[in-house]
Amino acid sequence: MVIKGSDIARQMEKNLRQEVTRLKERKIMPTAAIVRVGENPSCIVYGRSAEKKLEAVGISVRRVAFPGDIAQGAFMEEFKKINNDPEIHGILLLRPLPLHLDEKAISAEVNPLKDVDAISPMNMYKVMAGDITAFSPCTPEAVIDIIDYLGIGLEGKKVAIMGASMVVGLPLFLLMLNRNATCVQCHIHTKDLAKECGDAEIVVVAAGKRGLIRSEHIAPRAIVIDVGINVGEDGRLYGDVSFEEVVLKAGYITPVPGGVGAVTSAVLASHVVKAAKMLYAV
């Protein structure tokens, strides 16, 4: 069965719209700042798309743009104001930042309670500790939401994760562990992928390698979640899973495009709402 991310996102957005309406009735206006430095085209595109998604559920967006040559000190000063502004509940810092800026130092400055994109090291610690105030990175949380949507309990499930990056694979491992799954984390140095994921009930692929997972890698009726995004020579988007053959063997599978990506945007919006609710303890 092919899992449509857009169906899941639509349901999440419907619930979020209701939550935002309830907050507005209490005079709380959930607000996100989208912060951009310079004119990086991918940041501009992603910023616009995030803005549309947030506004679609009623979240107010403040666009903050700085010149590409802003000095570290000056940026930190300005960033502090956004961090401390009580009317801003969530901060999305568009990356990559210009090379002269110290991205690690800036990420560490983000107020963890406004860190809706989960770039602050404190949030990673909170995810590890299973702290309910944590913001998990949006994509791994989207994977968990998809599995929840299917009504499949994670407790005791064997999960194989392809990829171990700080953005997807590693935080996903922690989220799975928090839900009492038994996980195997595979990466570029893993010797035998088929052996590691061949008996997994859930296989999540986030390696950025088109066609990495084929039908011989998965157990019959496994749940296959494809996070990968690869641009083919034809300009189309492809996942990391060889969809045409794996769909015939899997129990559930997410397509690319139209799978995890759609849910990821809804998760970002849910984080802004969560941040506003945490601030006012409602």
Q: Token pair for residue 167? A: 């953005």
| Beta-sheet pairing, 223-226 with 182-186 | unpaired
Nearest distance in Å: CB 138, ligand NAD: 7
Strand partners for 31 = 60
CA-angle at 44, arms to 168 and 5, nearest 5°:
45
Question: Comparing C-alpha atoms, which of 112, 109, 114 is closest to residue 124?
Answer: 112
Q: Which residues bind ligand NAD (CB under 6 A)?
A: 139, 162-165, 167-169, 186-188, 190, 193, 206-209, 212, 227-230, 260-261, 264
**Residue 196, C-beta contacts closer than 8 angstroms, at least 6 positions apart:** 160, 184, 186, 190
Nearest distance in Å: CB 132, ligand NAD: 23
Distance between CA atoms of residues 46 and 99, nearest Å:
19
41 vs 86, beta carbon nearer ligand NAD: 41
134 vs 160, beta carbon nearer ligand NAD: 160
112 vs 261, beta carbon nearer ligand NAD: 261
Nearest distance in Å: CB 279, ligand NAD: 26
90 vs 228, beta carbon nearer ligand NAD: 228
Nearest distance in Å: CB 120, ligand NAD: 18
23 vs 224, beta carbon nearer ligand NAD: 224
**Residue 264, C-beta contacts closer than 8 angstroms, at least 6 positions apart:** 138, 139, 142
Nearest distance in Å: CB 16, ligand NAD: 18
